[in-house]
Structure 1
Amino acid sequence: MPSSFDDLLEHNRAFAETFALQGFDGVARAGVAMVTCMDSRIDPLGMIGLVPGDAKILRNPGGRATERTLVALVLGVNLLGVKRIMLVQHTRCAMASKSERELLMDISEAAGVDASWLDLGAIEQQRLSIVEDVHRVRSHPLIGERAEVGGFLYDVDTGLLEQVA
């Protein structure tokens, strides 16, 4: 029976033919973790010259240091070889383009269901939110001085990273 995933499974079979990470222990070989947005214009490994196996990549709307993201960073720093953490937001991000209320109205309209109960985490002041997230990660008792933490803004039109914090 045909599936809407058939094309992706076909590409996966081709990928598996040259798969080179079997037996890999999951430690970040370059000692890097990156928190970034789920935006499809972002190639997290490519933008910093790394390849699969080098870094832990955590993605969410807006690239924020959420509670669950902090859990992943704690694991990365304490068990998986992470020594540097990059918090990367980007230009022209939907999460920073409208207010929480406006985004919720857009979702409600698109879904045809009231979404006002949802907490999206819209970003009102992007550079300030990067600074705040860097502080949040640096001050976590299970991360603290165990890793260097930097905040960055990625320009989706030039491919360049700017260090903000």
Structure 2
Amino acid sequence: MSYFEKFLKTNQAYADLHGTAHLPIKPKTQVAIVTCMDSRLHVAQALGLALGDAHILRNAGGRVTDDMIRSLVISQQQLGTREIVVLHHTDCGAQTFTNDAFADQLQRDLGVDVHGHDFLPFTDVEESVREDMAILRQSPLIPDDVNISGAVYDVDTGRMTEVI
């Protein structure tokens, strides 16, 4: 049995408990969280969020990319969010490679030349949060009155530390 087949069975049990409550399309807290895809970070539980509370946007490294900004603009302009939290974490996979080394690996393994492509690796997790907050603050698509905060989540302790 594949994991997907297991997910379908598990989902049926979840749906039975979920009921038929219709949550509003707009997030209750008016917050969008930009974070990593890391499986050790359960954002809703870590921040005490329930279904319908916030938009949680995830990608490798939790980096602010053009597509992340696209999602944030929709979140704000169509769905009413007024705050953005950039949440990176310790021991991130984006800290384990460089662009050149990864491009070399992809050339070897896949026969594809992606030299010159930025996969957004980083070495300092706090600095990566600051960089992403700066990108958001400088974007003409993110209004000046949107509150932008940042933090680092420690995957070993579950604690979150604010980054200024």
| TM-score, normalised via structure 2 length | 0.87
Does the 8 A contact of 2:153 with 2:160 survive in 1?
Answer: yes
Are residue 114 (structure 1) and residue 111 (structure 2) matched?
yes
Aligned partner of 1:132 in structure 2 is: 131
Measure, in 2, the Cα distance between the counterparts of 1:113 and 1:98: 17
Identity of aligned residues (%): 32
Residue 6 (1) aligns with residue 8 (2)? no
* Ranges in structure 2 where 5+ consecutive residues have no aligned partner: none
Distance 1:4 1:157, change over 3 A: closer
Q: Work out whether residues 77 and 146 of structure 1, in 8 Å CA contact, stay in contact via their aligned partners in 2.
A: no
2-structure distance, mates of 1:20, 1:108: 49
Shift of 1:106: 4.6
CA deviation digits over 1:62-98, x for unaligned, max 9? Answer: 0001001001111112221212211111111110122
Task: Decide whether aligned partners of structure 1 residues 49 and 83 sit closer, same or farther in structure 2, where only a CA change above 3 A counts.
Answer: same
User: 1:19 corresponds to which residue?
Assistant: 18
Aligned residues: 162
Amino acid in the other structure paired with 1:164: V
* Gap runs ≥5 in structure 1: none
TM-score scaled to structure 1, two decimals?
0.86
1:123–1:62 Cα change, 3 Å: same
